[in-house]
Amino acid sequence: MTSLPHSTVLIIDFGAQYAHLIARRVRECHVYSEIVSSSITIDELEARKPNAIILSGGPSSVHEKGAPTCDPRLFDLGIPVLGICYGAQLMAIQLGGTVEETGKREYGKTNLSVSNEGVLFEGLPVEQEVWMSHRDSITKPPPGFTVTSFTEGSPVASMESPRRKLYAVQFHPEVVHTPHGTDILKNFLYRACDILPDWTPTSIIEETIEEIRNRVGKEKVICGLSGGVDSSTAAVLVHKAVGDRLTCVFLDHGLLRGGEAEEVIDTFGRHFKMNLIHRDVSERFLKKLKGVTDPEQKRSIVGGEFIRVFEEVASSLKGVRFFVQGTLYPDVIESGTGEASRIKSHHNVGGLPETMDFELVEPLKFLFKDEVRLMAMELGLPEEIVWRQPFPGPGLAVRIIGEVTEERLKILREADAIVNDEIKKAGMYKEIWQSFAVLPCIKSVGVMGDGRTYSYPIIIRAVTSEDAMTADWVRLPFGVLERIASRITSEVEGVNRVAYDISTKPPATIEWE
């Protein structure tokens, strides 16, 4: 992404817990941003020709021995810099200001008074709430800086030197608890840096296609298609770039949701006219899973078998050099910003073995999920795929507690379809991270008509999440729960009871296995 024509903001990561949030917010302002390690040298930084630099927060004190730092020449490159929290303190101390532990720590929501709107607060209220999280405070700005705001505990809550294009805020504009945070970032990007908001779905698509074309040349490419938004978008982009030299492989392991396989085949085979190899290997998987109840064993059977089938298909396609993978930016960030892309390329080929000797094409590896969805819409992917919720690789096998059988798959598919049909009707599907049904391996007594029943319950799970690392259960309206419960018990044979899972992650996980 380095040589592309759009503006670029580089975020130097000093160990901030939420550096990715800064990247997200900048992207939401339609400006491309990338996180880089604080070990980046001044030459490497200059070579990237960023339009602006943001110094992130971090857990250290600038006075600590071994605390991460930056080359002070950074401030003389003529590139606008915004320091946030630790980044602000680093700027202050390196340019001759004072940072001290005053004993007035600030954590959480804090009232900020703007004393001079300067560039960052142009057009914004003089009194506003901001999110603080700091021990040390800037007590004196460096020469040439104007203090633009203060709080009870921070005499310098923000400062700027427009002449040198240097800006700093002690608070966190990237978190939602700073209501005007995005406006402040916009003022920095558009007013202080004169950056144009040129990071749009159309520009991303054009640039990505061009990049794939240059990379792949005349070679053949293979793509494992799951029907999720990531692999689907990656496939469409590669198809636009290299056309028939792409072959998509869709393996139906029989653990998909109702109608999912048909939709993928229809969309890609008919609608997008791609080379699509579809293998229905459900019987093979079900045979392997027969009698297996241990969750880890199920996962390893599905994962292992998937690899074997994929290898068989791949080896029948001669001369394939590239493999497309829908890796997203959070996966890359999670592996660490320094060597991230290299680590991913070598060790995480979507669960496929390293011996498969393909070079990776990861067209989404600098994108967040919401950006992928915008792109997918622009590319004309059907709504059902664009908004499809994440789905685990082992599929329904980890949502059926106990043995996976045809009969139990049928029950779960029908119940799952009802859960999501009602959630869609309530207009809540897009705001929910994942919603699904789980089939436990217990039965309970019920009554139907005049007769006793002894059948399975269905558990409904619906969670909100930013990144699946943590999750909260959705406060579904009682009316929606009522309709789901009543439809499941009357329409799905073999179910007489419905429960709603109100566990958060942690301590629970999103999936049941």
Enumerate binding residues for ligand XMP (CB under 6 A): 299, 390, 392-394, 434, 468, 505, 509-511
Question: In whole angstroms, what is the distance from residue 432 CA to residue 146 CA?
Answer: 44
Q: Which two tokens stand for residue 360?
A: 């990776």
Q: Position of tokens 């800064």?
A: 22
Nearer to ligand XMP, 58 or 395 (CB): 395
Write down the least CB distance from residue 312 to ligand XMP, Å. Answer: 21
Write down the least CB distance from residue 306 to ligand XMP, Å. Answer: 10
Q: Which of 469, 444, 136 is nearest to 330 (CA)?
A: 469
Phi, psi of 189 (to 5 degrees): -70, -50
Q: Which of 154, 6, 191 is nearest to 80 (CA)?
A: 191
**Are the C-beta atoms of 50 and 9 separated by less than 8 Å?**
yes
Question: In whole angstroms, what is the distance from residue 154 CA to residue 483 CA?
Answer: 53
3-state secondary structure of 294: coil
Nearer to ligand XMP, 69 or 509 (CB): 509
**Are the C-beta atoms of 239 and 209 separated by less than 8 Å?**
no
Told to judge if 85 belongs to the known catalytic residues of this protein, a careful annotator would answer: yes
DSSP state of 63: T
Write down the least CB distance from residue 469 to ligand XMP, Å. Answer: 8
Nearer to ligand XMP, 166 or 417 (CB): 417
Q: Which of 6, 172, 180, 239 is catalytic?
A: 172
Q: Which of 34, 106, 160, 174 is catalytic?
A: 174
Nearer to ligand XMP, 277 or 508 (CB): 508
Question: In whole angstroms, what is the distance from residue 302 CA to residue 264 CA?
Answer: 20
Nearer to ligand XMP, 74 or 460 (CB): 460
Q: Which two tokens stand for residue 480?
A: 């929606």
**CA dist 191 to 34, 52, 88, 163, 325, Å?**
20, 12, 19, 13, 38
Phi, psi of 87 (to 5 degrees): -60, -35
Nearer to ligand XMP, 300 or 315 (CB): 300
Question: In whole angstroms, what is the distance from residue 138 CA to residue 217 CA?
Answer: 53
Question: In whole angstroms, what is the distance from residue 128 CA to residue 111 CA?
Answer: 6
Told to judge if 346 belongs to the known catalytic residues of this protein, a careful annotator would answer: no
Nearer to ligand XMP, 201 or 392 (CB): 392
Q: Which of 460, 467, 472 is nearest to 501 (CA)?
A: 460
Cβ count within 10 A of residue 111: 10
Phi, psi of 474 (to 5 degrees): -85, 135
Told to judge if 174 belongs to the known catalytic residues of this protein, a careful annotator would answer: yes
Write down the least CB distance from residue 370 to ligand XMP, Å. Answer: 15
Write down the least CB distance from residue 434 to ligand XMP, Å. Answer: 6
- The residues carrying an active-site annotation are 85, 172, 174
